[in-house]
Amino acid sequence: MTTETYLHSLESIPLSDIVKEEYRNYQIYTLMDRAIPYLQDGLKPGQRRILYTLWKNQSKGLLKVSSATGLVLTLHPHGPASVESAIVNMAQDYTFSNNYPLIDKKGYFGERMETGAAASRYIECKLGKVAEYLLFDDMDQVEMVPNYDERTMEPVGLLPKLPLMLLNGAEGIGTGFSSAIPSFHHRDIVKSMIFCIENGKARKIKPFVHDYTLPIEIDAKGKLIFNMGFEEVDGKIFINELPRGYDATKIYKHLTKFIESGFIKDFVDSSVNNDIKIELLFKKGQDVTLEEVENTIGVTSTFSPNYTLISERGVRIFQKAESIIEIFTEERLKVVKRRYELRCEKLEDKITQNNEIIKFIRQKEYEVATRQKNRKSFVEYLTKKKFVYADYLADMPIYRMTKEEVEKRKLMVQEDKKKLSEYTKVAKSDRLVAKKLIEELNEIDQKLTDWRKKKDQEKDKLLKKIAREQDRLGQK
């Protein structure tokens, strides 16, 4: 039998042992509780607590970010600043933020050129449509544990239908480890998962950033390269795309260097939302080609993927996104199988309950209640008669003790038995479980496609409105 030795129980402790022990504890804490996303749902603990809290409070509609933060702090022990920041980050939808924001927003949450959001008391949020589609259908399978002060329960990990860390990408830096996961298109992920179900191996997928208009290049070492884009319109040269990490501050600083060197005279930024439009102004008589501007001013940024995640066995490093998809798909098959097993259990309980109601009414057991001393003795009587739902039957109102109620319950039993037969077949067949998962993936693919299309239409409508307003002001 091994005995544990605690540092505080020793008379003398080498300093190196203290440093190693404390460093190890701090490392585990930062990795597990704050910095690195989890393999199961692709979320960091703070993000999971925010989404769970918003899901529990959907009936409240839009919440001030400051109010939502207060609700989340019942689960999150790290103060309001980190929660507010995480809410804003999950709601932002400009290029290089989130392909599929999990939180819907109202107010100024930042944009591509000015990424800072307004104060939390002025902006509002609620659970996003994407989160509703992906996250909460299998909550009866989610393991719940006490929160940090053991006053309420929180989920250990959610069960999303698609790997969130691949949909929106994920970044985090902990002690000794970091994670840098690029984002991908939902359709590519769905196709890869279906291919994995049918062939046992995930289909290769390419990184994708919504509204980034240039191809994402990948070098020999696997680094992603994001270029600056240029175009010439009516003899004028414009920057029409920016690399990852470039906002107004950074691109202005970059262009100012070329003003100082004399290559350009000035620039005019007419960018709106995600659409970049920066006109480059040259000195009178200066004749430059588009190629010369690209070679002189053009700049790139790189992103080195690092697929580090927290699994049940600790920190796990993957070499490629496809490995994550293969493990995730295997787990989704288990979730779907368990979903149908639980549905069978619920239907069996429901059938038993309805059969007991029929028996209770037909045998006129309710008449016995008039001869019992109190409710407790009536429940004991029903229990002795082997009624499983004795408490429920004891509380049934008298107006339901009718033939009509019996016929209604008989129809319900018939319908539930048909469903039970269907669900049992699925739960016992790996082939049917795989088929159901493919149906679910195709359904979520369509939902996200429709959602994306609607968001893009709203954006186009807004841009046209802004253009009309600018034209009207220009005419004045």
Provide the annotated active-site residues: 122
Which structure tokens are listed for 242?
């920016």
Contact by Cβ (8 Å): 437, 430? no
Q: What torsion, rounded to 10 degrees, do the Cα atoms 177, 180, 186, 192 define?
A: -60
Q: 348-355, long-range: CB within 8 Å, 24+ apart, which pairs?
A: 348/420, 350/412, 350/416, 351/413, 351/416, 351/417, 351/420, 352/388, 352/389, 353/388, 353/389, 353/392, 354/409, 354/410, 354/412, 354/413, 354/416, 355/409, 355/413
How many whole angstroms separate alpha carbon 181 and alpha carbon 184?
A: 10
Select from 77, 76, 48, 83 the least CA-distant residue to 157. Answer: 48
- Collapsed DSSP state (helix, strand, coil) of residue 124: strand
User: Which residues, listed in sequence order, are joined to residue 301 by a DSSP beta bridge?
Assistant: 226
DSSP string, 440-472: HHHHHHHHHHHHHHHHHHHHHHHHHHHHHHHHH
How many whole angstroms separate alpha carbon 273 and alpha carbon 470?
A: 15
Q: Vertex 19, ends 16 and 22: CA angle to 5°?
A: 145
How many whole angstroms separate alpha carbon 29 and alpha carbon 463?
A: 45
Residue keyed to tokens 């082939």: 431
Select from 299, 302, 261 the least CA-distant residue to 283. Answer: 261
Indicate the residue type of 106.
Answer: K
How many whole angstroms separate alpha carbon 387 and alpha carbon 381?
A: 9
Residue 236's CB: how many other CB atoms inside 10 A?
Answer: 12
How many whole angstroms separate alpha carbon 437 and alpha carbon 342?
A: 16
